[in-house]
Structure 1
Amino acid sequence: MSALDPDLAAGIGRLEADGWLPITRGTPEEARQNYRDLALLRRGAVDLPVAGVHDDVVTDPTTDVDVVVRVYEPADPGGVTVVWLHGGGWVVGDLETADAAARRVCRHLGARVVSVDYRLAPEHPHPAPLQDAHTALRWAATRFGGRLVVGGDSAGAGLAAGLALLARDWGPRLDGQLLLYPGIDPTMSSPSFAANAGGPFLTADDMRWFYARYLPDPDTHVDPSVNLGEAARLGEVADLAPAVVAVAEFDPLRDEGVAHAEAMAAAGVPVRLLRGQGLVHGFFGLGSVSSAAQREGDRALDALAELLG
């Protein structure tokens, strides 16, 4: 174990002192507002510039559900489209909270980013968010062509991991996955879940609160598209798209990300596993307070670029 990055420790201490943490609140509405206000505060006054941004609406022809997406166009396109799924425990988050991450991915990779405003629990528990993600992915493949990547952070990375299974079996074909500290084990039984139960930033109690709303039916806890450990046990992680999996040392979700990366690698999937020493859950959005967090986020993006060639 290394020491927690001091800049992150100081930044999280300020968030706690100012009342922004814990992430979870009494009701989903209160949690959403707090999370959105915090995301807008962290974005600052100036957005990272990209060549263009526009919103679109995608309709799932099988359910007639509309899914709103926000498309970010790079200044120097490289023929890659990243379908981005925001974090927030499947309960909080939206296009605004995902804006900074989407812009960063767009600029760093020279990739078009399709950010998905998927439906949220508890109003829309599993499988609604995953269905929305697949709808957006199919639309992006048809609309833009080229190389196709699914990516996300936290709960969004969990959706991306499940989406990779759906894409393998039902299309469209993927060229890569970018999974930043994914939430993929609803059993919450890994050693890191106990060791890092108190966080900082994300806690075990936060995850229990999120899963209780996202997976209210206990039978869904073994769905391979949600529980990627179950997918590995069933031998269902072969032939997935090449993946970058980035975890953080002081994250309750660390070990489940490592286990998924190792299971994919054992099944013959090209995998880059990045272990963020001294970092916490959510580091991709904490670069403004920690140079170490900024470097690790860039390292994950660079690893994806290498996988894509």
Structure 2
Amino acid sequence: MPIDESLVPLLALINSPQVPKLGTGEPVQARANFRGLTVDLRDPSTLPAVAAVEDVTIDGPGSTPLPGRIYRPEAGGPVPTIVFFHGGGFVLGDVETHDDHGRWLCREVGAVVVSVGYRLAPESPFPGPVDDALVAVRWAAARISDLGGDPDRLAVAGDSAGGNLAAVVAQDCRDAGGPALAAQLLLYPATDFAGDYPSMAENADGYFLTESDMIWFTTHYVPSGADPGDPRLSPLRGRLEGLPPAVVATAGFDPLRDAGDAYASALGDAGVRTITHRFDGLIHGFFGLGPVSPASEEAVRTVCASLKQLLRPAGSADR
């Protein structure tokens, strides 16, 4: 399948000499560049409406304050709670760059969303973001009555690097005996730092996320001497039995496509209920591209509908 035609003008802009690549220069400048591609280009009128948005402080490891943002849906009564981790290669991004992601999940799933601003590499390399993600989920679980209100419908979600963190958190919560998770949403996740996959070469350049970006991100996130097969880095290398049901979404023109597909397949082989979506004509980051790509917006709605299905109240009928 060719790339979706609605993405061609965007890729022409991204690939132009005037636009800096994601993984170039110093992290501080790269973060500003990423903000320019997200927040600065965003039309506020395209943001999904939700009932309320509140900026909060999450108590991180050792009482380290972490920025968070809570999105509340129009629906009343107990609703699911989704703890969301943003993408950006563990080096870029924050709750503001992914404001649209939190809003889409909140509105389409009908859930309270807690977006977490975990600490970034290289200032906080692995396992710093993992530690932050774990503490943030426990923070949300302890406040579930003030958030969504349903302790049986707590989920984790993330895109790219955030998908990695969501997968790692799901494994840790199972091994630690809680908090119990009802579902996990992994959007084009980074699942394996130790493997070699054809899609990394096939989509090495020209489709937003590049192979060189991944090398730059890895250099900043993974300390020298760390084992790339550590399940907290590469959740594909971990034990997958007994994990919560999952939605895994990948894109055809994405260097991370094959690793994400491998994780979805491994989850199914381990007996985990897994809903898999491969959007062959789309690129990495499609969850934020709805305003310029109708196909991406349709993919967002499809993914959210699948997560909503997994988060139905116990005993409710399939619809």
TM tier, smaller: over 0.9
Query: In percent, how many aligned pairs have the same letter?
Result: 44
TM-score normalised by L of structure 1:
0.94
Give the corresponding residue for 1:14. Answer: 13
Q: For the Cα contact (< 8 Å) 1:244–1:273, is it kept in 2?
A: yes
Q: 2:309 aligns with which of 291, 295, 306?
A: 306
**Quick one: structure 1 residues 303 and 42, their matched pair in 2 at CA, closer, same or farther if it must change by over 3 Å?**
farther
8 Å contact kept, 2:241–2:271: yes
Output the CA distance in 2 between the equivalents of 1:212 and 1:188.
Answer: 16
Report if aligned partners of 1:199, 1:251 keep a CA contact under 8 Å in 2: no
Q: Which runs of 5+ in 2 are unaligned?
A: 313-319
Following superposition, the deviation at residue 18 of structure 1 comes to: 7.0
Measure, in 2, the Cα distance between the counterparts of 1:43 and 1:241: 34
Displacement of 1:20: 3.1
- How far residue 127 of structure 1 moved from its aligned partner, in angstroms, is 0.8
The answer as to 2:252 corresponding to 1:279 is: no
Deviation at 1:57, TM superposition (A): 1.7
CA contact 2:68–2:117 (8 Å) conserved in 1:
yes
Using the alignment, how far apart are the partners of 1:34 and 1:126 within structure 2?
23
The superposition leaves residues 272-302 of structure 1 with CA deviations (integer Å, 9 ceiling, x where unpaired) of: 1100011111111111111111111111111
Q: Which residue of 1 aligns with 2:166?
A: 160
After superposing on structure 2, the runs of 4+ consecutive aligned residues of structure 1 that deviate more than 4 Å are none
Partner SS for 1:247: strand
Q: Is the 8 A contact 2:182 2:311 kept in 1?
A: yes
User: Where does structure 1 lack aligned partners over 5 or more consecutive residues?
Assistant: none
Q: Helix, strand or coil for the counterpart of 2:156?
A: strand
CA contact (8 A) 2:11 2:206 kept: no
Over aligned residues, Cα RMSD in angstroms? 1.5
45-54 or 299-308, which deviates more: 45-54
Corresponding position of 2:317? none
Note if contact 1:91-1:121 (Cα within 8 Å) is conserved in structure 2.
Answer: yes
1:197–1:188 CA distance, 2 compared to 1 (3 A): farther
SS in structure 2 of the partner of residue 221 of structure 1: coil
Distance 1:108 1:118 in 2: 24
| CA deviation after TM superposition for structure 1 residue 187, in Å | 2.8
Q: What is aligned with 2:316?
A: none
CA distance in 2, matches of 1:64, 1:220: 28
Q: 1-side partners of 2:20 and 2:72: how far apart?
A: 33
Q: CA deviation at 1:84?
A: 0.5
- Other-structure match for 2:56: 56
Take 2:242 and 2:206, find their aligned partners in 1: how far apart are those partners?
34
**Mean Cα deviation higher: 120-129 or 144-153:** 144-153
Calculate the TM-score normalised by the size of structure 2.
0.91
SS of 2:258's equivalent in the other structure is helix
Residue 82 of structure 1 corresponds to which residue in structure 2?
82
- From 185, 188, 193, the equivalent of 2:192 is 185
1:188 CA drift (Å):
5.1
Corresponding residue of 2:237: 230
C-alpha distance in structure 2 between counterparts of 1:218 and 1:274, whole Å: 35
Asked if 1:70 corresponds to 2:77, the answer is no
Alignment check: 8 A CA contact 1:36 1:97 kept = yes
State the 1:56 CA deviation. Answer: 1.8
1:125 aligned residue: 125
